[in-house]
Amino acid sequence: MAAVPAPDAVLIDSTGLTIEEVVVVPASVAGGTYDLRVALVDPGLDEDNPNRRFRLVNSELDDGSARYTVGRVTILNEPTPTALPVATPLPTEVETTSPSGESWLSRLLSTIYDWLRTLIAGLR
Protein backbone atom coordinates (compact mmCIF):
# COMPACT_ATOMS: atom_id res chain seq x y z
CA MET A 1 0.00 0.00 0.00
CA ALA A 2 1.18 3.52 -0.70
CA ALA A 3 2.16 5.73 2.21
CA VAL A 4 0.03 8.80 2.85
CA PRO A 5 2.16 11.94 2.42
CA ALA A 6 2.94 13.82 5.62
CA PRO A 7 0.77 16.89 6.18
CA ASP A 8 2.33 20.34 6.36
CA ALA A 9 1.38 21.13 9.93
CA VAL A 10 2.96 21.93 13.25
CA LEU A 11 1.42 19.99 16.10
CA ILE A 12 1.08 21.53 19.49
CA ASP A 13 0.56 19.32 22.53
CA SER A 14 -3.06 18.01 22.68
CA THR A 15 -3.94 19.47 19.28
CA GLY A 16 -5.75 17.11 16.95
CA LEU A 17 -4.94 16.72 13.31
CA THR A 18 -7.34 15.43 10.67
CA ILE A 19 -5.97 13.90 7.51
CA GLU A 20 -8.51 13.13 4.82
CA GLU A 21 -7.13 10.90 2.11
CA VAL A 22 -8.78 8.57 -0.36
CA VAL A 23 -7.04 5.24 -0.38
CA VAL A 24 -7.76 2.91 -3.29
CA VAL A 25 -7.79 -0.68 -2.15
CA PRO A 26 -6.87 -3.14 -4.92
CA ALA A 27 -9.54 -5.68 -5.83
CA SER A 28 -7.05 -8.44 -5.00
CA VAL A 29 -7.25 -7.60 -1.27
CA ALA A 30 -9.38 -10.20 0.47
CA GLY A 31 -12.39 -8.98 2.41
CA GLY A 32 -11.91 -8.76 6.15
CA THR A 33 -11.00 -6.46 9.03
CA TYR A 34 -7.51 -5.01 9.12
CA ASP A 35 -5.56 -2.88 11.61
CA LEU A 36 -4.90 0.68 10.46
CA ARG A 37 -1.37 1.60 11.54
CA VAL A 38 0.75 4.73 11.31
CA ALA A 39 4.46 5.37 11.64
CA LEU A 40 6.30 8.65 12.06
CA VAL A 41 9.46 8.52 9.95
CA ASP A 42 12.36 10.78 9.13
CA PRO A 43 12.55 10.58 5.32
CA GLY A 44 16.08 11.99 5.44
CA LEU A 45 17.44 8.79 6.99
CA ASP A 46 18.10 5.49 5.23
CA GLU A 47 15.53 2.67 5.50
CA ASP A 48 17.89 0.53 7.61
CA ASN A 49 18.75 3.35 10.04
CA PRO A 50 17.27 2.45 13.48
CA ASN A 51 16.51 6.14 14.15
CA ARG A 52 14.42 6.54 10.98
CA ARG A 53 11.17 5.77 12.85
CA PHE A 54 10.18 7.88 15.83
CA ARG A 55 9.15 5.88 18.86
CA LEU A 56 6.24 7.24 20.87
CA VAL A 57 5.83 7.27 24.64
CA ASN A 58 3.00 4.70 24.59
CA SER A 59 5.36 1.88 23.62
CA GLU A 60 2.77 -0.79 24.49
CA LEU A 61 0.96 0.14 21.26
CA ASP A 62 4.13 -0.30 19.17
CA ASP A 63 3.87 -3.36 16.91
CA GLY A 64 7.63 -3.91 17.05
CA SER A 65 8.30 -1.89 13.89
CA ALA A 66 7.50 1.51 15.42
CA ARG A 67 4.03 1.42 13.90
CA TYR A 68 1.01 2.25 16.01
CA THR A 69 -2.55 1.00 15.57
CA VAL A 70 -4.94 3.93 15.27
CA GLY A 71 -8.05 2.05 14.21
CA ARG A 72 -9.46 -0.75 12.15
CA VAL A 73 -10.81 -0.84 8.62
CA THR A 74 -13.20 -3.40 7.14
CA ILE A 75 -12.87 -4.29 3.48
CA LEU A 76 -16.07 -5.55 1.89
CA ASN A 77 -14.71 -7.29 -1.14
CA GLU A 78 -17.11 -9.91 -2.40
CA PRO A 79 -16.18 -12.02 -5.39
CA THR A 80 -17.77 -10.96 -8.64
CA PRO A 81 -20.05 -13.70 -9.90
CA THR A 82 -18.92 -15.22 -13.16
CA ALA A 83 -21.57 -15.95 -15.74
CA LEU A 84 -21.53 -19.56 -16.83
CA PRO A 85 -22.39 -20.42 -20.41
CA VAL A 86 -25.91 -21.71 -20.76
CA ALA A 87 -27.23 -23.62 -23.73
CA THR A 88 -29.78 -21.56 -25.61
CA PRO A 89 -32.80 -23.58 -26.62
CA LEU A 90 -33.62 -23.67 -30.29
CA PRO A 91 -36.83 -21.89 -31.22
CA THR A 92 -39.75 -24.20 -31.77
CA GLU A 93 -41.61 -24.02 -35.00
CA VAL A 94 -44.91 -22.19 -34.65
CA GLU A 95 -47.61 -22.14 -37.22
CA THR A 96 -47.58 -18.62 -38.61
CA THR A 97 -50.48 -18.93 -41.04
CA SER A 98 -53.92 -20.37 -40.76
CA PRO A 99 -55.36 -22.81 -43.30
CA SER A 100 -56.93 -19.79 -45.00
CA GLY A 101 -53.47 -18.20 -45.46
CA GLU A 102 -53.79 -15.49 -42.76
CA SER A 103 -50.82 -14.86 -40.44
CA TRP A 104 -51.23 -14.94 -36.66
CA LEU A 105 -50.57 -11.19 -36.57
CA SER A 106 -53.34 -10.35 -39.01
CA ARG A 107 -55.73 -12.59 -37.04
CA LEU A 108 -54.73 -10.82 -33.79
CA LEU A 109 -55.19 -7.36 -35.29
CA SER A 110 -58.52 -8.38 -36.78
CA THR A 111 -59.70 -9.63 -33.37
CA ILE A 112 -58.61 -6.40 -31.64
CA TYR A 113 -60.32 -4.33 -34.35
CA ASP A 114 -63.58 -6.27 -33.94
CA TRP A 115 -63.40 -5.87 -30.15
CA LEU A 116 -62.86 -2.10 -30.43
CA ARG A 117 -65.79 -1.75 -32.88
CA THR A 118 -68.06 -3.63 -30.45
CA LEU A 119 -66.83 -1.48 -27.54
CA ILE A 120 -67.45 1.79 -29.40
CA ALA A 121 -70.87 0.64 -30.63
CA GLY A 122 -71.85 -0.10 -27.02
CA LEU A 123 -70.95 3.47 -25.95
CA ARG A 124 -73.42 5.02 -28.41
Rounded to the nearest angstrom, the gap between the alpha carbon of residue 91 and the centroid of all alpha carbons in its chain is 38
| Alpha carbons 67 and 54: distance in angstroms, whole number | 9
- Please give the full DSSP string across 51-86, using - where no structure is assigned: TSBPPPS-GGGB-SSS-EEEEEEEE--PPPPPPPP-
- Residue 60 is predicted with a pLDDT of 77
Asked if pLDDT for residue 12 goes beyond 60, the answer is no
Question: Residue 68 to residues 11, 38, 73, 117: CA-CA distances in angstroms?
Answer: 18, 5, 14, 83
97: which DSSP letter? B
User: Pairing mode, if any, of strands 68-75 and 32-38?
Assistant: antiparallel
What residue segments make up the domains of the chain, in order of their start?
32-75
Give the whole-number percent of the chain exceeding pLDDT 70: 62
For the stretch 58-94, pLDDT in tens is 777 788 888 888 888 888 876 666 666 676 666 666 6
| Alpha carbons 38 and 69: distance in angstroms, whole number | 7
Give the whole-number percent of the chain exceeding pLDDT 90: 1
Asked if pLDDT for residue 29 goes beyond 80, the answer is yes
Long-range Cβ pairs for the range 42-46 (8 Å, 24+): 43/6
Residue 13 binned pLDDT confidence (cut-offs 50, 70, 90)? low
More confident residue, 40 or 15: 40
Average pLDDT over residues 89-112: 69
- Residue 14 is predicted with a pLDDT of 59
**Consecutive H or E run containing 32:** strand 32-38
- Residue 52 is predicted with a pLDDT of 86
